[in-house]
Amino acid sequence: MEGCMPLQPEEDVTTSSPKTKNKCGKFVSSRQKIMVVNIYKDIISITPDKKYMDIINRIRELIGLGRDTIRNTISEYKTTKIVSSPNRKRLKASLFEKIHDLDRTGLRRRTIHSIWLKREPPTLPSYLDP
């Protein structure tokens, strides 16, 4: 069969996708946690005498997660034998909820209302200086 491409390449070609790191503060999905556990089990089965920090560093290189994330995932798996899915809803208090009612009314009375009563234009320095 002349002119046909061989099924196996003659040279060793490795194709891998570029390593993507998980951004700080982003959730780690349960799929990623399962990958961490599976890689950990694989490394332990191949080289059981390898140091724990070397294993974590190798997983960091392979997956792109942080050291503490990997350490927490492995310890969670060791204690519970399962990995949990992340809670994707963050309960963040808005600025309005953080300020107490009395503080809010005092702030309104002292700054905002006094500026309008003096008939001054509302500018940023006038809000910052009481």
- What contacts 64, CB < 8 A, 6 or more positions away? 19, 20, 21, 22
Using one digit for the tens of pLDDT, what is the confidence trace for 65-82?
Answer: 889 999 999 999 999 998
| More confident: 95 or 2 | 95
Q: What is the average per-residue pLDDT within 117-126?
A: 73
From CA 43, how far away is CA 56, in angstroms rounded?
A: 10
CB atoms within 10 A of CB 64: 13
Structure confidence at residue 106 (pLDDT): 74
Residues near 116 by beta carbon (within 8 Å), at least 6 away in sequence: 122
Q: How confident is the model at residue 5 (pLDDT cuts 50, 70, 90)?
A: very low
Structure confidence at residue 79 (pLDDT): 93
Mean pLDDT highest for which of 19-23, 64-68, 120-124?
64-68
Q: Tell me the pLDDT tens digit for each residue of 40-99.
A: 999 999 999 999 999 999 999 888 888 999 999 999 999 999 888 877 676 777 777 777
- What H or E segment, with its residue span, contains residue 63? helix 52-63
Burial 97-119 (b: 16+ CB within 10 A, else e): eeeeeeeeeeeeeebeeebeeee
Average pLDDT over residues 94-110: 74
